[in-house]
A and B are shown apart, each in its own frame.
Chain A
Amino acid sequence: MPTYAIYLTSGFGLLLVLFVFLFCLSLRRYQRVIAVNKRFIQTICDIYEQVYELNLTNNEFYQYFILNGMLKKTKMHEPLSDYLPRVTSEHVYQNDVAMIKDFLTIERLQSVSDEECNLKIEYRRLSPQGTPYWCMLMVQGLPKSRRQPAIVILYVCDINESKSKERQAHQNLKQALENAERLNEVKGNFTSCISHEIRTPLNAIMGYLRIARDHKNDPKHVVECLDKAEIASNHLLSLVNDILDVSAIENGKLSLGEHPFKLRDFIASLDKLYYEQASEAGIDFLITLKDITEENLVSDDMRLRQILLNLLNNAFKFTPKGGRVELIVCQNAIVNNVAHMSFTVADTGVGMREDFIKYIFNAYEQEDSATARKYGGSGLGLNIVKGLVEMMGGSVEVVSAIGKGSRFTVNLPIQSTPYEMPKGAQCRAIARLRILAVSDDRGTLEIISRLVHRLDMHCDTAISCFVAMDKIKKIAGEGGNYDLCLLDWDTQGQDGTKCCAQMRELLGDDLRIAALVGTNALNLSAHAAELTLWRVIQKPLNHSILLDFFAEIVSAQEEKSEPGVQKMDFSGHCVLLVEDNNLNREIGREVLKNVNLDVEVAVNGAEAVEMFTQKPEGTYQLILMDIQMPVMDGFAATRQIRACEHSDAQTIPIIALTANAYPSDVNKSLAAGMNAHASKPIDPDALYSILEKFLTIKQGV
């Protein structure tokens, strides 16, 4: 202890402490610098695929790499002078070998070291799979002092992704430039074309006005000139409208309306518009409607018309005499009251080059200036078509071949609205009509069935005249008759006449036969009386046409049965009426007795079950069941009846009769085993219609 004290108090001791303190301080600083450098090199190794330290003085080199998260520096055993020629030939894409050899020489590296500068080069390396990818090689000379060797750091970095992005950006830029140049060109062409288009009618207007003034004393001539000037004005107006439409669509300023319209009227207006034009041009114009079941539509009919007019105008413009233009309207599917429709305009005209088709919907485009000169037009029509179709949520497609014609198909979802349905007594009378549809085309039968079912009617179908005759004979054997036979004349071909004659032979004039024809309706109409046809109906059939005919038949039947009132007669049938309320029960009994039904009553479900089970087979032909009753409700009673051993248990019709018409009640009725549902207050006609479905009726006056 005293020895330490001597040291500490002496000057030497103090110096020693100071030395140790300074040593520790500089050691810590050195370690910090080492750590920072290590972190920096580690980051460099992370960024670059390969990092080498090339010692030019000693002709050796080291590789830096990360192993298990630790930075490693490994001396390579090969001399640098041997390594360089090898590395420039291995793993380098063949086309870039010469460039790399020239870049990576000892002389060049020496100069990089001397100048303490850096050099970069991009080249393609080969992956282990042999595919080339872009890399960047950089050499950097480290600052050196007299005592330190000449060192150059070599980095290799994968730049394939950024290179590819750069290439893509370059490509995009090139494409944008090309597009801009093209747009500029077409706009230039458009300006000259549109100037010509505007000038032509304008010149005509001015010319005719001048001629009219010159002939002011010849009123006939003046009127002719004014008529022609008016035509030219209309043309000019439509051209200006086109330009405004394109502008509105492009700027998103065009809004679509929603108007209800009838497809039949809409198509008829197009037919009317083009019929004469087609005749004059010697072009065959056909309109075909396929699978149309929804004809009450809601859309912007004016814009839809504009779309079809543009397509039809083009079709007529590019179709020579003797050719054909066809408009095919098809309802492909109906989903949630939306009709998915296609409108196809097909022509046998000049067609288009395949390479032009991709530009066809661009604004201001025409196939070439010769087209514009020969056929006229602004080149805006199809751009408007595409713009409008897209606004309406649809699409447009085109198929075309030079010399063979073009086919444009517009697919549009269009809202449909409920059909006008007959009401009250007319509805019930129509529902009672018996219809037979005869066609050898299953599609036609399917459409007719769908349309007829929509009117809550039943329709028998026959795939041939032979089958039809069988059905007619069967109904006649039961003492009945069809009220209308829809006979597909086209598919029956010449047999239509024969089939019609066979039906007449069996039934005389009692059966109304309506011939369905696709074409030449007028020709057949001329012979309708001779062929004993009630009507000749142009296909396609639709809801309104059928409804009109059915109403006509009902009205004719009513006239025939006047002055007496036709009344149903269910005599011979016994109905069990189950109703707890005394007054309602009596009212129900009166309503049922009115159509000659025998009525027995039960005051609750339990009594009904008892009555039914105790009576012999065939006592009741139908049960009218109230739902909410004391003791046992209608659901439980129905379930018990259906489950009992009685031989009528499964077959007897049970009709729910209740003031609750909620869907849940209807579903519960059906689930309990009831066959149908009639609502209170009792509507006698509606109730009779339901009874008619389950009981055999006798028609009486």
Chain B
Amino acid sequence: MEAETKVLLMDYGLDLNNTLARFMGNEKLMLSFLQELPEDESYPMMADARERGDWETCSFAAHALKGLSGNLGLVGLYKRSSEYMIALRTNDEADEKRLFPLMCEEYDRAVAMVHRITK
């Protein structure tokens, strides 16, 4: 892995060691999966469902995003999506409203990082 990529990943706060271990130490494989994040449908599905007030689909997509971000070592996004999941699970409207923008922000940050390493 190029030093610059590594710095970008570390700057973002990627859980490099554990994520690399998940991909059997194969950096290339790890990066290839990371680069697919913007194409993953979970986030747009979640945002769309939320706008329509379809909370079941929203929760379903948030759960998928949580699993994916965990597997990719995106610690910030994993944390935010976990919190958001709990808010949905407990029907906590105030928390849902508070946490959704934070999760979007974290998703944007992760996607921005992916774009930068792709360049």
A contact set with B: CB distance below 8 Å: 580-584, 586-587, 590-591, 594, 626, 628, 630, 658-660, 680-685
In the complex formed, the residue of B with least CB distance to A567 is: B24
CA distance in complex: A584, B63 (Å): 12
* B107 interface contact, C-beta 8 A: no
Q: How far is the CA of A248 from the CA of B118 in the complex (A)?
A: 74
C-alpha spacing A586/B21, complex, angstroms: 16
Contact between A584 and B22, CB atoms less than 8 A apart: no
The smallest beta-carbon distance between A574 and chain B, in angstroms, is 20
The answer to whether B21 touches A684, judged by C-beta atoms less than 8 angstroms apart, is yes
- Selected interface stretch from B1-9, B66-74, B96-104: B66-74
Contact with A along B1-35 (1 / 0, CB 8 A): 00000000000000000100111100001000100
| A583 with B68, Cβ < 8 A, contacts A628-B60, A660-B63 known | yes
Q: 15 pairs across A/B with beta carbons < 8 Å?
A: A580-B64, A581-B40, A581-B68, A582-B41, A583-B68, A587-B23, A587-B33, A590-B24, A590-B29, A628-B63, A659-B63, A660-B85, A681-B72, A683-B18, A684-B22
Tell me how many residue pairs across A and B have CB atoms closer than 8 Å.
65
Q: Write the B47-64 contact mask toward A (1 if CB under 8 angstroms, else 0).
A: 000000000000010011
In the complex the two chains form, is B24's CB within 8 Å of A594's CB? yes
Residues of B within 8 A of A658 (CB): 67
Instruction: Give A657 Cβ to nearest chain B Cβ, in Å.
Output: 9
Report A-chain residues with C-beta under 8 Å of the C-beta of B23: 587, 590-591
- Of the residues B21, B40, B60, B78, contact of A583 by C-beta under 8 Å: B40
Q: Is the CB of A682 within 8 A of B64?
A: no
- State the Cβ distance, A23 to closest chain B Cβ, in Å: 92
Contact partners of A581 in chain B: CB under 8 A: 40, 42, 64, 67-68
0/1 interface trace, chain B 63-97, chain A, CB 8 Å (1 if under): 11011101111000010001001000000000000
Please measure, in the bound complex, the distance between the C-alpha atom of A580 and the C-alpha atom of B29, giving whole angstroms. 20
Query: Closest CB-CB distance, A579 to chain B, in whole Å?
Result: 9
Q: Tell me if B71 and A583 are in contact (CB < 8 A).
A: yes
Chain A's closest residue to B64 (CB) is: A581
Cα–Cα, bound, A591→B78 (Å): 20
| New A-B contacts (17) at CB < 8 Å, excluding given A583-B40, A591-B24, A682-B71 | A581-B68, A582-B41, A583-B71, A584-B64, A586-B33, A587-B23, A591-B22, A591-B23, A594-B24, A659-B70, A659-B82, A660-B63, A660-B85, A680-B70, A680-B71, A681-B22, A684-B22
Are A680 and B22 in contact (CB-based, < 8 A)? no
Closest approach, in angstroms, between the C-beta of B63 and any C-beta of chain A? Answer: 5
User: Shortest distance in angstroms between A630's beta carbon and chain B's nearest beta carbon?
Assistant: 7
Neighbour of A587 across the interface among B22, B42, B60, CB < 8 A: B22
**A residues less than 8 Å from B64 (CB atoms):** 580-581, 584, 628
In the docked arrangement, what's the CA distance between A310 and B81, Å?
60
Question: Is the beta-carbon distance between A584 and B67 smaller than 8 angstroms?
Answer: yes
Q: Which residue of A lies closest to B63 (CB)?
A: A628
Most chain A beta-carbon contacts within 10 A, residue among B29, B33, B67, B78: B67
Chain A nearest CB, measured from B47 CB (Å) = 16
Query: Nearest chain A CB to B114's CB is how many angstroms away?
Result: 12
A587-B24 Cα distance, complex, nearest whole Å: 11
Cα separation A684 to B22 with both chains bound (whole Å): 6
Which of A580, A626, A680, A685 counts the most B-chain CB atoms under 10 A from its CB?
Answer: A680
CB contact under 8 A between A681 and B70, given known A590-B24, A628-B64, A659-B63: yes
Interface residue from A580, A584, A628, A660 paired with B71 (Cβ < 8 Å): A584
Task: Identify B66's interface contact among A587, A659, A682, A683, CB under 8 A.
Answer: A659
Q: Across the interface, which residues of B come within 8 angstroms of A591, CB to CB? A: 22-24
A590 to B63, CA, bound (A): 21
Q: How close is A186's CB to chain B, nearest CB, in angstroms?
A: 66
Residues of B within 8 A of A (CB): 18, 21-24, 29, 33, 36-37, 40-42, 60, 63-64, 66-68, 70-73, 78, 82, 85
Within the assembled complex, what's the spacing in Å between the Cα atoms of A469 and B18? 43
Contacts of B29 in A (CB 8 A): 590
Tell which of A583, A659, A683 touches B33, judged by Cβ atoms closer than 8 Å: A583
Chain B residues with Cβ under 8 A from A660's Cβ? Answer: 63, 85
Known: A581-B40, A587-B33, A628-B60. A680 touches B24 (CB 8 A): no
Using Cβ atoms and an 8 Å threshold, which residues of chain A touch B36?
582-583
A684 touches B24 (CB 8 A): yes
Give chain B nearest CB distance to A58 CB in angstroms.
Answer: 97
For the complex, what is the distance from the CA of A664 to the CA of B85, rounded to whole Å? Answer: 15
Contact, CB under 8 Å: B40 / A587: no
Asked if A681 and B60 make an inter-chain contact with CB atoms under 8 angstroms apart, the answer reads no
Which residues on B sit within 8 Å (CB–CB) of A594? 24
Are B71's CB and A681's CB within 8 A? yes
Whether A682 pairs with B22 at a CB distance below 8 angstroms is yes
Residues of A within 8 A of B33 (CB): 583, 586-587
Residues of chain B lying within 8 A (CB to CB) of residue A582 = 36, 40-41
Interface centre among B33, B82, B85 (most CB of A within 10 A): B33
Chain B residue nearest to A684 (CB atoms) is B22
Is B67 touching A680 in the complex (CB atoms < 8 A)?
A: yes
Q: Known contacts A628-B60, A681-B78; is A584 also within 8 Å of B21 by CB?
A: no
What is the bound-complex CA distance between A684 and B70, given in angstroms? 13
Hey, which chain A residues are within 8 Å of B72, CB to CB? 583, 587, 681
Interface core residue of A582, A587, A660 (most chain B CB under 10 Å): A587
Measured CA separation A392–B117 after assembly (Å): 63
Closest chain-B Cβ to A628's Cβ sits at a distance in Å of 5
Please, which residues of chain B bring their CB within 8 A of the CB of A628? 60, 63-64
A632 to chain B, nearest CB (A): 13
Contacts of A586 in B (CB 8 A): 33
A614-B85 Cα distance, complex, nearest whole Å: 36
Q: How far is the CA of A586 from the CA of B66 in the complex (A)?
A: 16
- With a cutoff of 8 Å between Cβ atoms, the chain A residues found around residue B40 in the complex are 581-583
The distance in angstroms between the C-alpha atoms of A683 and B29, with both chains bound, is 16
A591 to B21, CA, bound (A): 10
Distance in angstroms from B29 CB to nearest chain A CB is 6
With a cutoff of 8 Å between Cβ atoms, the chain A residues found around residue B66 in the complex are 659
Q: How far is the CB of B28 from chain A (nearest CB, A)?
A: 11
The answer to whether A681 and B24 touch across the interface, beta carbons within 8 angstroms, is: no
Q: How far is the CA of A681 from the CA of B68 in the complex (A)?
A: 7
Q: Which residues of chain A are near B41, meaning CB under 8 Å? A: 582
Chain A residue nearest to B32 (CB atoms) is: A586
Given A584-B67, A584-B71, A628-B60, A683-B22 contact (CB < 8 Å): yes
Q: How far is the CA of A683 from the CA of B24 in the complex (A)?
A: 11
Rounded to whole angstroms, the CA-CA distance of A626 and B70 in the bound complex is 15
Cα distance, A594 to B24, chains bound together (Å)? 7
Give complex CA distance A682, B78 in Å.
13
Q: Which 5 residue pairs across A and B have the least CB separation, nearest first?
A: A681-B70, A659-B67, A680-B67, A681-B71, A594-B24
When chains A and B are docked, how far (Å) is the Cα of A381 from the Cα of B41?
76
Cα distance, A594 to B20, chains bound together (Å): 13
Assess whether B24 is in contact with A630, with CB atoms less than 8 Å apart. Answer: no
The listed residue with most B CB atoms (<10 A of its CB), out of A584, A591, A660, is: A584
Docked pose: A30 CA to B33 CA in angstroms: 116
A333 to B60, CA, bound (A): 46
A659-B70 Cα distance, complex, nearest whole Å? 8
Q: How far is it, in angstroms, between the C-alpha of A590 and the C-alpha of B82 when the chains are bound?
A: 25
Give the Cβ gap from A566 to chain B, nearest Cβ, in Å: 14
Instruction: Assess A630 versus B22: contact at CB under 8 Å? Given A583-B68, A680-B70.
Output: no
- Cα–Cα distance between A572 and B36 once the two chains are bound (Å): 31
Min C-beta distance of A84 to chain B, whole Å? 91
In the complex, what distance in Å separates the CA atom of A682 from the CA atom of B19?
Answer: 9
